[in-house]
Amino acid sequence: MAALTRYEPIDDWLMDTLRDPARDPWRDMFRRLTRSHWPALRAPDDMRVDVTENDTAYTVRAEIPGAKKEDIAVKIEGNLVSIDAEIKEDKETKGDGERVLMREIYRGSMSRAFTLRHDVDDQQANAKFENGILTLTIPKRAGVKSTTLPIG
């Protein structure tokens, strides 16, 4: 039989904040509450990101639907990567007597920041945006290698 666990949003929020103090705890708590209790208020402000690496570079793929490439900003500082995007509302034309009954398409800003394991060469990095997917290729800095130490 499966055990029931009690949902404690404040405890979860506190533990997440202690793990990563750089996060905005109030924004995270509001997102968690609205995501779980009021799905109609949910916005896709959590940018989905895939990060892969090989020996020479990192590849980052970020899903940013509805954005235009001129409204996306990528910033690399050391091994910190920040992606900001603004999703703007297009001009809406209505006919005579038309009115909006429902609006679910998201408009607003999205952002994501994360650190990579190794320092990167930000001068050689490149970005491509196609079909709502931002692809970053970020080379690792030359001479940076990781080693695994055996524990004796």
| 84-103 confidence digits (pLDDT tens) | 998 876 666 666 778 777 77
* Domain co-membership, 130 together with 80: yes
Residues constituting the chain: 152
Quickly state the pLDDT bin for 54 (edges 50, 70, 90).
very high
Backbone angles phi, psi at 37, to 5 degrees: -110, -30
Q: Is 96 among the domain residues?
A: no
Tell me: do 53 and 128 sit in the same domain.
Answer: yes
- Judged by DSSP in three states, 96 sits in coil
Residue 124: give its domain's CATH number: 2.60.40.790
| pLDDT tens profile 111-137 | 899 999 888 998 999 999 999 999 999
Residue 11 CA to residue 15 CA, distance in Å, equals: 6
Domain count, the chain: 2
Please give the pLDDT value at position 30: 65
What burial class does residue 132 get, using C-beta atoms within 10 Å of its C-beta: 0-12 exposed, 13-18 middle, 19+ buried?
exposed
Residues ≥6 apart with Cβ < 8 Å to 88: 68, 71, 107
Whether 56 and 17 map to the same domain: the answer is: no
Q: Are residues 54 and 129 in the same domain?
A: yes
Q: Which residues sit opposite 75 in a β-bridge?
A: 82
Higher confidence at residue 62 or residue 21? 62
Give the model confidence (pLDDT) of 19-33 as tens digits: 665 556 666 666 666
Q: Find the domain containing 61 and state its range.
A: 44-90+106-143
